Amino acid sequence: MTDSAPVHGTWEPHPAARWEDAFLSGNGHHGALVSGDPNAERVVVTHHTLVRPSRADTRPPQLAADLPALQDRLLAGDTTAAESFTDGRPLQWVQPFHPAFRIRADRPPGEVRDYRRDVDFTTGVVRASCDGWTSRVFVSRADDVVVQHLTGPALSLRVDLDHRLPGAPAGLGIGHGAVLTPDGALLSLRARYPDSDLAVTGVTRVTVTGGTTTLVPPGVRVEGARSVLLLTRVHRHTGELDVVARGRALRDLPADPDELLDRHVALHRTAYRRVTLDLAADPAERALPGSELLKRPRSAALLERLFAAGRYHLLSACGLLPPRLTGLWTGDWDTAWSGAFTQDANLNLQTASAAAAALPEVTEAHARLVQRQLPAWRDNARAIFGTRGVVAPAHTDGESGHSYHYSREYPLHLWTAGADWLLKPLVDHDETHGTRDPRTAAALAEVALFYEDFLTRTDEHGHLVVVPSYSPENRPANASWGTVNAAMDLSAARHALRTAAAYHPGTAEAGRWQALADRLPPHRVNADGALAEWAWPGLQDSYDHRHLSHLYGVWPLDEITPYDTPAHAAAAHRALELRGAENDSAHGHLHHALVAARLRDAGRVAHALGRVLEGDFFHVSLMSAHYPGRDVYNADAAHTLPAVLIEALVQSTPDRLVLLPALPPGYPVGALRGVRTRFGAEIDLTWSPDGGATAVLRPGRTTRVELRTSAGAEPLDLVAGEDRVLTVKER
């Protein structure tokens, strides 16, 4: 289709001057930010477990006894009643994510010629080279170790571990260790948190080929070597850590960097290569460094590279946990919003491509976060609402799942939709693979139990009422934040109850849950013809806001579609038209694009993408920022962009396939290969300027679905193991 393949990597002709521009590698546990300076190489090491201990009271507020009175007041029209529904604690942030330290490798100053640094998305290797000197860094998915291999003629360099990163607290208790070994040295750095028995220890095995190694505390000096191999791991622990034993574990790993790389690539490349996007970009633009390509926001080559980078960074950030607000990376202890998992929007947006883009590694990391939080979710339900079941918090540091981050302006403890929102990606995974994970089934049952106990109030029509209710992170124009019948809460309750029933067919519980879902009220259309953010009469919409929580029924749910519920879809589209961008947060623009794609509005998809591509949201590393002008390092745009493009090209439910619903203008030819559908088929889609398109489906199970194209709807019968070729004449 094209005379050159899309570029699966990016490169620069200069070292990174800022940590935000460092190229990234990661295995979902450890992360590395690589600056690529040949005279002063810096590799910042991170780990998902590194959160700074705090003295915050992390218990959920004990408010259940006061809930009936609050409900009475809200239903009686007291629009400020929820403002006092707290235990008086001030706003407390979750424990902040932080970097471990940086590995410093300093060479004697010299002229730098023929310099280049790059990152290969297919391998996860970050490479820098000049004048015969080469550095390769990757984080092994097979061996969970940061690998740095330096080569060159007669290498002379000093290596040490340095904790002095921006924002590091002055009270860190620092201890260094350095001992010579037969083949090099063993370095360690221990940093004990202030006023805590918790500490972080990094251990680096230094293997030197040729030359000499001498101790120069806190590190070593290497002279005349042919190569230096650094293997690093980070440990968060209490008390003392046996550094000798940790060093022995590193010495048990192969000393051959190529062998380590082969073991890693076998896992990483397989996952990364499953889905690719080709927009037939200009080969000359594909060859540009990322910094130059970012100056061409309408370039197909840029969109190809950002799609590839987004998949690479998302995969690299997921393992032990899914991506934080900063993915797996930061070079600063003072991370915005604590570098948390923000669960009322950002986390699900970042992982939105996981099922369709064939990244079960991402979904499994997401499932791990959910599973480790469930006991705390139960505490939230009992303490705040006096119910069985579970209630998810809006923020977590990955350790505590308690709801303790809230305030009058952000009463996040009132948000009851969170558990359904966070379980939806796991349901999508099950539908895609034709399975029902018992962990997901059990969690859904607990969500349903919560609703059984919580949904006890009714309106004048006999409908159940969600009270209190909260739409992240907005408020009505004429009321306070805690209200009644937020659209997201209604959609979540309906979806959770019906999905729990589907996961437990034939049981008495399933019948109760389905009956409860049927008693919830419909969505409300307001005087502007828009789907109202609050279905309770009298509550007025506030349109200029970054969140689109009220359109949960459109994306990611299938509650509102142009095919099944056209009137509600039109109202949802009107709500999207009226929605402002507030502070230009990247997640708001791309959430807008995801909803627009479901509503078949290609123009709005293109506009929202344009706001991000033209707003200077991307660092040279192709990691993104939260605000325009590269303000606040944040993974939302980087990780969400692939999902937007997939939704614009291919959408699926367990019984429907939609082809090219919202292809943005300006990309008349292309190919999206390897996408998975929720009815169990893999699909390769190509399209051309004449409006034609071809889809090759490889079904994994026999089924009948509805095919939707611009020409209308028709049934499509698929047989497991038999490829099916579809031709679309025009769009």
The confidence band for 111, taking pLDDT boundaries of 50, 70 and 90, is confident
636, 626 contact by CB (below 8 A): yes
Mean pLDDT of 155-183: 96
Q: Output the CA angle 286-287-289, nearest 5 degrees.
A: 100
Distances (CA, A) of 158 to 241, 251, 331, 563: 25, 21, 22, 65
pLDDT in tens, 518-529: 999 999 999 999
Cα-atom radius of gyration of the chain, to the nearest Å? 26
pLDDT in tens, 439-475: 999 999 999 999 999 999 999 999 999 999 999 999 9
Rounded distance, CA 275 to CA 673, Å? 5
Mean pLDDT of 181-210: 96
pLDDT in tens, 254-308: 999 999 999 999 999 999 999 999 999 999 999 999 999 999 999 999 999 999 9
Q: pLDDT at residue 2 above 70?
A: no
In this predicted structure, what is the pLDDT of residue 731?
A: 61
In this predicted structure, what is the pLDDT of residue 140?
A: 98
Mean pLDDT of 340-367: 98
Domains of the chain in start order, with CATH, are: 9-51+95-273 (2.70.98.50), 300-645 (1.50.10.10)
Q: pLDDT at residue 3 above 80?
A: no
Q: Output the CA angle 549-552-554, nearest 5 degrees.
A: 135
CA 135 to chain centre: 29
Q: How does DSSP assign 318-352, residue by residue?
A: -SSS--BTTBT--S-SS-GGGG-EETTTHHHHHTT
The confidence band for 730, taking pLDDT boundaries of 50, 70 and 90, is low
pLDDT in tens, 399-425: 999 999 999 889 999 999 999 999 999
In this predicted structure, what is the pLDDT of residue 579?
A: 97
Give percent of the chain with pLDDT exceeding 70.
99
- Rounded to whole angstroms, the maximal C-alpha distance in the chain is 85
Rounded distance, CA 208 to CA 185, Å? 8
- pTM value is 0.97
716, 728 contact by CB (below 8 A): no
Mean pLDDT of 150-168: 96
Least confident of 100-114, 324-338, 469-483: 100-114
Distances (CA, A) of 318 to 27, 430, 446: 7, 19, 26
Structure tokens at 694: 């071809």
76, 210 contact by CB (below 8 A): no
Q: pLDDT at residue 376 above 60?
A: yes
pLDDT in tens, 562-601: 999 999 999 999 999 999 999 999 999 999 999 999 999 9
In this predicted structure, what is the pLDDT of residue 131?
A: 87
Mean pLDDT of 164-187: 96
Q: pLDDT at residue 1 above 70?
A: no
- Mean per-residue pLDDT of the chain: 96
In this predicted structure, what is the pLDDT of residue 4?
A: 63
Q: Which amino acid is at 173?
A: G
Strand runs labelled E in 54-100: none
pLDDT in tens, 60-98: 999 999 999 999 999 999 999 999 999 999 999 999 999
